[in-house]
């Protein structure tokens, strides 16, 4: 649940370092995200699979440059080395194509992390916003350990920070620092965004950063997703490997038969009493419909949707989901990727 608003405020004029504002389960600091480096093991976001597999990446080699082992032909994208142009195919098709070699297997990564007010909810262990930050930190440490560059787009209702991919510990620390800053800025009385949805704005930033051949990991509860969200994700998918991580809280999936919940957008609030069976059924139907619709359009554009619960250990879940080569149906958004009940 969202904590009391007063507990989230600070006395006027006080300036405390970021770590002192972190509250276990409610918010986190840079140090706790750095500590996750030790647990970022036994899983990979890019497994060694055939080149056209959705989560493949090109990881046979981490050496950049022109190699000797031909891998595939693909359309030319701005920024490609003109020395890799295949002029015969270009002349035959009328469109520029390049030859990709085995040595050109580095895949920069971009983590898009949701820190909006809708993520500031949790019934057990941690808030969804904290779980999302943990997924992003674990991904960043794992990707850098695998020898690739990593950047991100950290977004909330009022802030948006794009960070170009870097292959260095300093780059990861910069990303984690921004994650901690936005995470600690969340509070119960913070208003939701008005106007353009920050999720779609973040995906537009990701499109500008990830021109092609990136791994893009979108970490969110996808609240407020619409037709534009699907279109932006499809654009990212066409030129990159794209993976969605759905951060959810099991509360709505297993509602209590008594008690109440106060729901607020920072300005208005509504109290929901769970004593009425009709209300519990209505909420459960809404949650089921949201999950089904989310899974359906992800399957429609060929993007895997990995469920991560805020009520369970994040690193353990990633190891279960990505630690061993899953079946093709799971990777491609098949029945095994439904949100866990």
Ranked by mean pLDDT, the top range of 126-140, 179-193, 238-252 is 126-140
Number of other CB atoms surrounding residue 307 within 10 Å:
18
**Does residue 221 register a pLDDT over 90?**
yes
Nearest to 65 by CA among 109, 107, 102: 102
Mean of pLDDT values over 275-287: 68
Tell me the sheet residues that pair with 248: 309
Q: State pTM to two decimals.
A: 0.71
Residue-range domains of the chain with CATH: 18-49+106-337 (3.40.50.410), 70-101 (no CATH)
Contact 182, 219 (CB under 8 A): no
For 97-101, 212-216, 304-308, which range has the lowest pLDDT when averaged over its residues? 97-101
Q: Report the phi/psi class of residue 259: left, alpha or beta, with left for phi > 0 and alpha for psi in -120 to 50.
A: left
- Helices of type H across 210-265: 227-239
The average confidence (pLDDT) of the chain is: 78
Query: Cα 78 from chain centroid?
Result: 26
Query: Cα 265 from chain centroid?
Result: 23
Structure tokens at 315: 């690193």
Q: What is the pLDDT confidence band of residue 263, given thresholds at 50, 70 and 90?
A: low
119-154 pLDDT tens trace: 998 888 999 999 999 999 999 999 999 889 999 999
6-38 pLDDT tens trace: 333 333 344 444 444 778 889 999 999 999 999
55-83 pLDDT tens trace: 443 333 333 333 455 667 889 888 788 88
Number of other CB atoms surrounding residue 18 within 10 Å:
16
Number of other CB atoms surrounding residue 12 within 10 Å:
5
- Helices of type H across the chain: 5-8, 30-35, 87-93, 128-145, 169-185, 198-209, 227-239, 277-300, 314-322, 328-331
Query: What burial letters (b/e) apply to 232-250, b meaning 16+ CB within 10 Å?
Result: bbebbbebbbbbbbbbbbe
* β-bridge pairing 150-155 and 109-114: parallel
């Amino acid at each position: 649940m969202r904590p009391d608003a007063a507990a989230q405020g600070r006395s006027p004029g006080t300036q405390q370092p970021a770590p002192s504002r972190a509250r276990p389960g409610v918010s986190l600091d840079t140090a706790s995200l750095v500590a996750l480096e030790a647990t970022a093991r036994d899983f990979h976001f890019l497994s060694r699979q055939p080149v056209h597999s959705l989560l493949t990446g090109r990881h046979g080699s981490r050496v950049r440059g022109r190699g000797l082992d031909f891998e595939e032909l693909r359309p030319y994208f701005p920024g490609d080395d003109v020395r890799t142009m295949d002029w015969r195919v270009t002349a035959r098709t009328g469109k520029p194509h390049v030859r990709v070699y085995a040595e050109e297997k580095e895949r920069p990564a971009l983590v898009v992390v949701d820190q909006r007010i809708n993520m500031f909810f949790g019934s057990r262990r941690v808030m969804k916003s904290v779980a999302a930050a943990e997924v992003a930190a674990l991904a960043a440490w794992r990707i850098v350990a695998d020898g690739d560059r990593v950047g991100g787009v950290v977004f909330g209702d009022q802030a948006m920070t794009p960070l170009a991919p870097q292959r260095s510990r300093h780059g990861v620390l910069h990303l984690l620092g921004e994650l901690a800053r936005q995470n600690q800025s969340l509070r119960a009385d913070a208003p939701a965004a008005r106007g353009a949805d920050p999720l779609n704005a973040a995906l537009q930033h990701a499109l500008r950063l990830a021109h092609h051949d990136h791994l893009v990991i979108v970490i969110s509860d996808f609240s407020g997703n619409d037709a534009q969200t699907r279109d932006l994700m499809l654009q990212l998918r066409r030129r990159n490997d794209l993976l969605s991580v759905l951060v959810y809280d099991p509360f709505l999936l297993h509602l209590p038969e008594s008690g109440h919940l106060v729901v607020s957008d920072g300005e208005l609030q509504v109290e929901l009493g769970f004593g009425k069976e009709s209300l519990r059924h209505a909420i459960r139907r809404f949650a089921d419909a949201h999950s089904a619709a989310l899974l359906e359009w992800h399957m429609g554009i060929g993007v895997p949707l990995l469920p991560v619960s805020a009520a369970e250990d994040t690193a353990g879940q990633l190891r279960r989901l990505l630690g061993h080569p899953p079946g093709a149906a799971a990777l491609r958004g098949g029945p095994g990727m439904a949100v866990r009940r």
